[in-house]
Structure 1
Amino acid sequence: MTERTLHLPVAAQPSVESLVDLARLGERHGYERAWLPETWGRDAVTVLTSIARETDEIGIGSSILPIYSRSPALLGQTAATLQEVSDGRLRLGLGPSGPAVIEGWHGVDFDRPLRRTRETVEIVRAVLSGETVSYDGECFSLAGFRLRCGPPETPVPIDVAGMGPKSVELAGRFADGWHATVFTPDGLEDRLEDLARGVDLGGRDLEDVRVTLSVTACALADGERARELARQHLAFYVGAMGTYYRESLARQGYEPEANEIAAAWASGEPETATDLITDDLLDDLGAAGTPDRAREELATFESIDGVDRVAIGFPRGAETDEIGATLEALAPDAD
């Protein structure tokens, strides 16, 4: 059965406590895990620590921590510490993010993202083993240190985010899971083939690699308001967040639409870009509308063979009460 998890809002929230409150609400309503992204707002580690301290059962996870803003060794230390404070409830999500964030915000060259992702995963695993780390790679070389504290009693699964064929293949070959976002059902199935190829190349078992699909969702009594919020969110990602989402959408059969949305946004016309998210495209990428409609659309994503968990994400323009209403309407205990 597909797990239903919670992807806490990427947009700024009133406080850390408001994010903790959403995780608590998710725990009460039966969500399996609360994922938290890290972009250019609050750092995810502090917030995840707060959530771990204020909840009892819900899993916690990063989706994602960028691999350019922390060294691989620090990521390993962080994972070990979060696993300790959460009593074994952590799942670590890593990924390169994109040039817009890495170069524009962190001021770091977005260099060799696939190789850097692979080496980061390997080093984090070595750190979490508790053994002395010796690694000589193309991006990183380190030796002579080990965790000063004991390694986690419960191993930390490491997931990798990716949108293109090679990045998804890498997840299948080296990671414990793949995080997918802004995918149509047909587009996701194409990438699942890349994941399986990576699993084969790594001599692994496909059952050991978990797939998490983040779905933009909004379920409100005012169904048109819900759909407009989801449109705005998707237009922002395709138009404003660099080239990766646009290229991914183009690969999924929406090349003209992806290029038009990006062009409108680049021209300073976000409303035009939003209008270019047609009803068909919105239905193919998200679950938005009245609660009944959103639940029906969410079921389409959950029925995809190969998807292990769906993460309910929220439009960046949604108000706190709209996030809460969607969380409750789409909760596992609401089915």
Structure 2
Amino acid sequence: MTAKTLHLPVAAQPSVESIVDIAKRGEQRGYERAWLPETWGRDAVTVLTRIASETDEIGIGPSIANVYSRSPALLGQTAATLQEVSDGRMRLGIGPSGPAVIEGWHGVDFDRPLRRTREYVDIVRAVTSGETLYYDGDIFSLAGFRLRCDPPETPIPIDVAGMGPKSVELAGRFGDGWHAIVFTPEGMKNRLEDLRRGIELGERDPNDVRVTLSVTACALEDGDRARELARQHLAFYVAAMGTYYRESLARQGYEEEANEIAAAWSSGEQERACSLIPDELLDDLGAAGTPERARAELEKFEAIDGVDSIAVGFPRGATTAEIESTIDALAPNR
């Protein structure tokens, strides 16, 4: 059975407490884990620490922590500390993000993203194992680092985010899981072939690699409002978050639509950009509408063979009440 997790809101919330409350509601409704994106709002580590301290069962993890703004040794320390404060509920999601974020926001060259991600996986594993770190890679040459505390009793799984064929292959070959976002069911099936190739190259057991697909969802009694929020969210990601979401959509058969959306947005026509998202594309990428319709749309993602977990995400324009409505409507134990 496909598990359900929460992909906590990417948009700014009123307070840290409001994000914690969403995670607590997810725990009460039976969601397995609360994933927290780290973009331009509150940092993931502080908020995840609060969530860990105010919940008992729900898992925690960043989705994703990029592999540029923290050193790999620091990320390993951070993961080990979060595993301690959560009593073993931590799962680490990492990935390269993209040049718009890494270069534009963090001022770091977006250099060799795949190789860098691979080395982060290696180094974080070494750090969290408690062994003295000696690493000679193409990017990092490190020696002598070791945790001055006991390593986690429960090893921390490291998931890798990716959208293109090579990044997904890397997740299968070296990661403990793959995080996917902005995928159609058919596009997801194609990328799962890349994941399986990576698993074979790494001579790994497919059961050891967990697949999490984040799906933008909005379930409201006002179904039209829910779908409009989802349209706004999708248009923003396609047009304003660099080129990688647009390129991913193009690989999935929506190149013309993706380019038209981006062109309208860049011209300042944001309403028109949203209107360029047809119902077919909206339904192919999310689950939005009345509670009944949203549940039906979500089922097509849950039915994909090879997907272990659906992370229920929310439109960036949704209010707290609308987020709560969606959590309740799509909950595993509703």
Q: TM-score scaled by structure 2? A: 0.99
Q: What's 2:161 paired with?
A: 161
Deviation, structure 1 residue 276: 1.0
Matched, 1:33 2:29: no
Matched, 1:217 2:217: yes
Residue segments in structure 2 that go unaligned for 5+ positions in a row: none
Matched, 1:130 2:130: yes
Q: What's 1:57 paired with?
A: 57
What is the rounded CA distance, in whole Å, between the counterparts of 1:299 and 1:207 in structure 2? Answer: 22
SS at match of 1:225: helix
Matched, 1:298 2:298: yes
Q: What's 2:284 paired with?
A: 284
- Within a 5 Å distance, the mapping from 1:78-227 to structure 2 comes to 78-227=78-227
Deviation, structure 1 residue 254: 0.6
CA RMSD in angstroms, aligned pairs only: 0.5
Deviation, structure 1 residue 268: 1.4
SS at match of 1:310: strand
What is the rounded CA distance, in whole Å, between the counterparts of 2:268 and 2:250 in structure 1? Answer: 21
Letter in 1 for 2:322: E
What is the rounded CA distance, in whole Å, between the counterparts of 2:101 and 2:12 in structure 1? Answer: 16
What is the rounded CA distance, in whole Å, between the counterparts of 1:324 and 1:276 in structure 2? Answer: 28
SS at match of 1:135: strand
SS at match of 2:254: helix
What is the rounded CA distance, in whole Å, between the counterparts of 1:276 and 1:73 in structure 2? Answer: 44
Task: State the Cα deviation string for residues 305-331 of structure 1 (Å, max 9, x = none).
Answer: 000000000000001110111111111
Deviation, structure 1 residue 273: 1.0
Q: What's 2:327 paired with?
A: 327
What is the rounded CA distance, in whole Å, between the counterparts of 1:284 and 1:300 in structure 2? Answer: 9
SS at match of 1:90: coil
Task: State the Cα deviation string for residues 278-307 of structure 1 (Å, max 9, x = none).
Answer: 100000000000000000000110000000
SS at match of 1:327: helix
Task: State the Cα deviation string for residues 68-112 of structure 1 (Å, max 9, x = none).
Answer: 010000000000000000000000000111111111111111111
Deviation, structure 1 residue 272: 1.2
SS at match of 1:215: strand
Letter in 1 for 2:243: T
Matched, 1:310 2:310: yes
SS at match of 1:323: helix
SS at match of 2:39: coil
Deviates more, 1:258-267 or 1:305-314: 258-267
Task: State the Cα deviation string for residues 26-64 of structure 1 (Å, max 9, x = none).
Answer: 000000000000001100000000000000000001100
Task: State the Cα deviation string for residues 162-212 of structure 1 (Å, max 9, x = none).
Answer: 000000000000000000000000000000000000001111011110000
Q: TM-score scaled by structure 1? A: 0.99
What is the rounded CA distance, in whole Å, between the counterparts of 1:170 and 1:87 in structure 2? Answer: 29
Work out the percentage of aligned pairs sharing the same amino acid.
Answer: 81
Q: What's 1:236 paired with?
A: 236
What is the rounded CA distance, in whole Å, between the counterparts of 2:29 and 2:309 in structure 1? Answer: 16
What is the rounded CA distance, in whole Å, between the counterparts of 1:303 and 1:145 in structure 2? Answer: 44
SS at match of 2:104: coil
Task: State the Cα deviation string for residues 116-144 of structure 1 (Å, max 9, x = none).
Answer: 00001100001011010000111111001
Letter in 2 for 1:151: P
